[in-house]
Amino acid sequence: MVKILISDPLSEEGLKLLEKEGDFQVDVKTGLKPDALKEEIKDYDALIIRSATKVTADVIAAAAKLKVIGRAGVGLDNVDLEAATQKGIIVMNTPAGNTISTAEHTVSMILSLSRNIPQANSSTRQGEWKRSKFMGVEVYNKVLGIVGLGRIGLEVAKRCLSFGMKILAYDPFLSREVAEGLGIEIVELKELFSRSDYISVHTPLTEETKHMISTKEIALMKKGVRLVNCARGGIVDETALAQAIKEGKVLGAAIDVFEKEPPAPDNELLKLDNVIVTCHLGASTEEAQVNVSVEIAECVRDYLQGKGVYNAANYPCLDAKVFKVLEPYLNLAEKLGSFSAQLAEGRFKEINISYSGDIAQHDLSLLTMALVKGLLSPILKETVNFINASNLAKERGIRVKESKSSKEEEFLTAIQLEIKTDKEERRITGTLSMNKQPRIVKVDDYYVELSPSGDMIVIQNMDKPGIIGSLGTILGEHKINIAAMTFGRQNPGGKAVTVLNIDGLVSAELLEKIKKIENITAVKVIKI
């Protein structure tokens, strides 16, 4: 029975989706303190959270069986992603589920800032009628600078374009052509700060984005600029913002998220009349809560049932059709990595992976992860998995490079791995057979046809008569059957490669006997 712990409130729709699966045990236990969560998590295969639960490194260390963490929402600042990755735990979120609700809340904040709606509401309820005190401005023809033009930023832009606003955007990962096709001008950050009447941030909170708007950046802005943050607390330096508002540099701000939530009562932003604050309401609509609950439930369910990985922050996500195409190559990549690692001598320094043929049209990051896993598995055994393989390679100073070519080279589709160590360079090429089984077809400059499976003996030898007979005799004496044999040579009588698939283990004694056969120069035993 697969056990799923839900530690934050989830909509009924999401719960029902999981509970109807006969092989799932779903337990809802909200409000768990850190120590209680550490104790509770030990027996669970999956954990589903929202923003309240903090999945720290300590919690992850205590999770003996945990395979997946699902976050019903976008932000993952309450999950130690690095610790999860190191332990091989997939972390998923729902990047699209609350897109519309957060975009609408942002636009509401922009309009509220422009027309002083919360302040006027409070004043009027107190019996006042001071129309002149709440003189507003139109957003028409004003410049809105959007920092981060992802899903939410783009939806904000669409709505504000309909108001007749001019949109500037800073996003280093979006092409200028795509943005301009939507009527949005892509600019550098400094230019966005200097030209905008309103600035709204829509980036995740990372080491790079923490306090990305602080004293230095505010100094670049127009006097009278208005700031909106419905993304993540900490992107805007709250102390610097409060000071800029007091000095009149920033005319107003609308803040939905804080560095510390709830904010301390003495937070300066809470004391300023021209600051509108809400309590992290960006995703707080009935529709968004249902959307993120159902979406994360589906993602976790499908992963646990082996139907694919979606919306993972630390694992490539592929749709079902693409995964079906790449699945046999996944097997090939892992076996190619394992074979090559056991063949090469020395400490790994760099690996270059070249993909060619039809597969090059796809995102192949999953294949690269599989190959690196295969490469490290002979050394690190069960401590390496698909999720942490790339990190482990990086920690060990192994440079991983990937290239793709849609052209057919020697084979219709192929994966070539070049390994550089402190002692040598090796090149191994793999492809699929007609029945989609993995095959290694080239070892360095020698063409071969071998199945990378089970126990193998890889021999470097001179192409002289008698070697095959000697090998057969010695293996027969040790009761070891030869399942398959392949040869590769460049010139008759010159250097060659011989690979045997065998049914049995090669002892140290047997290995020494093989090495002593005349015209054999090197022997490797490989197990996959």
Write the CB contacts of 323 (distance below 8 Å, at least 6 apart in sequence): 308
Tell me whether strands 2-6 and 24-28 are parallel, antiparallel or unpaired.
Answer: parallel
CB neighbourhood size of 55 (10 A): 26
- The crossing angle, in degrees rounded to 10, of helices 151-162 and 99-115 is 40
Does the active-site annotation cover 21? no
**Sheet of strand 185-186: strand arrangement:** 185-186, 166-170, 143-147, 198-201, 225-229, 250-255, 275-277
How many angstroms separate the CA atoms of 120 and 77, rounded? 35
How many angstroms separate the CA atoms of 370 and 350, rounded? 16
CB neighbourhood size of 497 (10 A): 23
Q: Give, rounded to a whole angstrom, the gap between the first and last alpha carbons of the chain.
A: 31
How many angstroms separate the CA atoms of 303 and 324, rounded? 15
Q: Which of 88, 463, 474, 97 is nearest to 309 (CA)?
A: 88
How many angstroms separate the CA atoms of 9 and 29, rounded? 9
DSSP 258: -
Task: Using alpha carbons, list the distances in angstroms from residue 324 to 65, 320, 321, 385, 400.
Answer: 28, 6, 5, 21, 25
How many angstroms separate the CA atoms of 478 and 460, rounded? 21
Burial 414-435 (b: 16+ CB within 10 A, else e): bbbbbbbbeeeebebbbbbeee
Does the active-site annotation cover 105? no
Catalytic residue among 159, 280, 362, 427, which? 280
Does the active-site annotation cover 489? no
Write the CB contacts of 221 (distance below 8 Å, at least 6 apart in sequence): 193, 194, 196, 199, 249, 250
Catalytic residue among 12, 13, 261, 327, which? 261
CB neighbourhood size of 132 (10 A): 5
Catalytic residue among 50, 195, 232, 439, which? 232
Judge whether 375 and 348 are in contact, CB under 8 Å.
yes
Active site members = 232, 261, 280
